[in-house]
Amino acid sequence: MLTQSQTGLIDIEHELVPDSLDIISFDTHLMGGVPYFFGHGSLHSIRMKLEEYSFDKLFLITSPKIWRLHGERLFQTLESFFPCEPVMIQDEEANKNISTLNRLCEELIDRRVSKDSILLSLGGGVVGNVVGLAAALIYRGIRFVEIPTTLIAQTDSCLSNKQGINGIRGKNHFGVYYAPLFIWSDSKVLMSESLRARRSGLVESVKNGLISDPLFLLFLEERLKRGLNLSEETLHEVVFRSTISKIRILEQDPTEKHYGVILEYGHTIGHALERLCQGKITHGEAIAIGMMAEAGISQELGMLTADEVDRHRCLLANLLSMDLHIPAGLSVERILETVEADNKRSLRGIRYILLERIGNVANPDGDYLMTVSKDVAAAALSEMVAAN
């Protein structure tokens, strides 16, 4: 059964019927509008959706690991209905680069991809970003479908239309905005993700609650208090609500240039940590520390109360088991130097997204990015140095 609905009308109490074909679809409100189909045990039903399109060939692009877990079976389903070829790429962050993109594009040309072909990207953010960029470049743009297989990809990266690869000097330096034909998301495939990946993905969900959705935050606190070994039903519900919480922000600003910048909460310091730690901590782990530090800055500036900062700690350290200390070997000074190189640096200094209270981002003078002095940031960060 396909239930067509829009974000505002979505039955938020939607109940999961395990292994059913119950699929909720909603418009992601991205530029041009991208339908997002979300189900449980619905991976193989993508076959029915694809029948609505005409194409000469499908290319199922994934990594060897995802192929073993989910890809091979999906390929067998698709192959019995359509001309379909599998293509493998490496999906470590270090492979999200121009060589992988180049190899993929040339391999597709060798295999006679045409303007009538459709690329299917099956994987996390790395596969999604590389395939999205390849789709945008081949013959100046061919169709692609995103099938996200990580919590972060289902609730975050696939909603942005941002396709890109890393450069030698930094993340996502080269890319374009390019929309998939549709997104096909099955929460059941997330059961094979590691607990570390699940925790990291949930940091962005917590962030959505902190910046704009206190009710969703209460929901997360309730669902996560029994630990992170979530049942399939709970995971489905968490992913569904996380996705909606991000879409509600994108509805107001699909380009993430004005109101949408609030999604960068925790990212000014988080990105600096990610860069300094060079893969030793995940994106979510860096953003958790970043949010904690930026909550401390809000408190220093007299906005968040000590209780509200404590609520950050409970959510991130107690419920998600995140280490909120500054990673060993890093000094406050070094972090702030790296923050200075952050792309938010402008003539107005280093700027942060800050909360005035839980669920509300400060917006003085109509600007969600606030300039903060180095001393204030240093004071907040100093609280987070691990006592050795």
Helices (H), the chain: 46-50, 64-66, 72-79, 98-110, 125-137, 151-155, 195-212, 214-224, 232-252, 267-277, 283-300, 306-313, 332-340, 374-382
Angle at 38 between CA 32 and CA 40, to 5 degrees: 165
CB nearer ligand NAD, residue 63 or residue 298: 63
Q: Which is catalytic among the residues 146, 204, 264, 308? A: 264
Q: How far is the CB of 91 from ligand NAD (least distance, A)?
A: 5
Closest Cα to residue 252, out of 243, 261, 241? Answer: 261
Q: Which is catalytic among the residues 49, 85, 96, 162? A: 162
Q: How far is the CB of 44 from ligand NAD (least distance, A)?
A: 15
CB nearer ligand NAD, residue 47 or residue 65: 65
CB nearer ligand NAD, residue 152 or residue 288: 152
Annotation says 188 is catalytic: no
CB nearer ligand NAD, residue 190 or residue 297: 190
Pairing of strands 2-4, 355-357: unpaired
CB nearer ligand NAD, residue 157 or residue 298: 157
Annotation says 162 is catalytic: yes
217-235 b/e with 16+ CB inside 10 Å = b?
bebbbeebeeeeebebeeb
State whether residue 322 is helix, strand or coil: coil
Question: Could you tell me if 121 and 61 are in contact, meaning their C-beta atoms sit under 8 angstroms apart?
Answer: yes
Question: Could you tell me if 26 and 39 are in contact, meaning their C-beta atoms sit under 8 angstroms apart?
Answer: no
- Cα separation of 43 and 308, whole Å? 40
Q: How far is the CB of 85 from ligand NAD (least distance, A)?
A: 20
Please give the C-alpha separations between residue 158 and each of 37, 102, 227, 246, 370, in angstroms, as whole numbers: 12, 22, 26, 11, 28
Binding site for ligand NAD (CB under 6 A): 63, 65-66, 69, 91, 93, 96, 123-127, 129, 149-150, 152-153, 156-157, 160, 162, 171-172, 189-190, 192-193, 197
Angle at 110 between CA 106 and CA 111, to 5 degrees: 120
Q: How far is the CB of 303 from ligand NAD (least distance, A)?
A: 27
Question: Could you tell me if 61 and 101 are in contact, meaning their C-beta atoms sit under 8 angstroms apart?
Answer: no
CB nearer ligand NAD, residue 71 or residue 209: 71
Please give the C-alpha separations between residue 373 and each of 301, 303, 349, 352, in angstroms, as whole numbers: 11, 16, 8, 10
Residue 83 structure tokens = 């001309």
Taking each continuous run of H as one helix and of E as one strand, the counts in the chain are 14, 14
Q: How far is the CB of 170 from ligand NAD (least distance, A)?
A: 11
Q: How far is the CB of 131 from ligand NAD (least distance, A)?
A: 11
Closest Cα to residue 163, out of 151, 146, 150? Answer: 146
CB nearer ligand NAD, residue 267 or residue 351: 267
- Cα separation of 112 and 137, whole Å? 15
Q: How far is the CB of 340 from ligand NAD (least distance, A)?
A: 22
Catalytic residue annotation: 162, 264
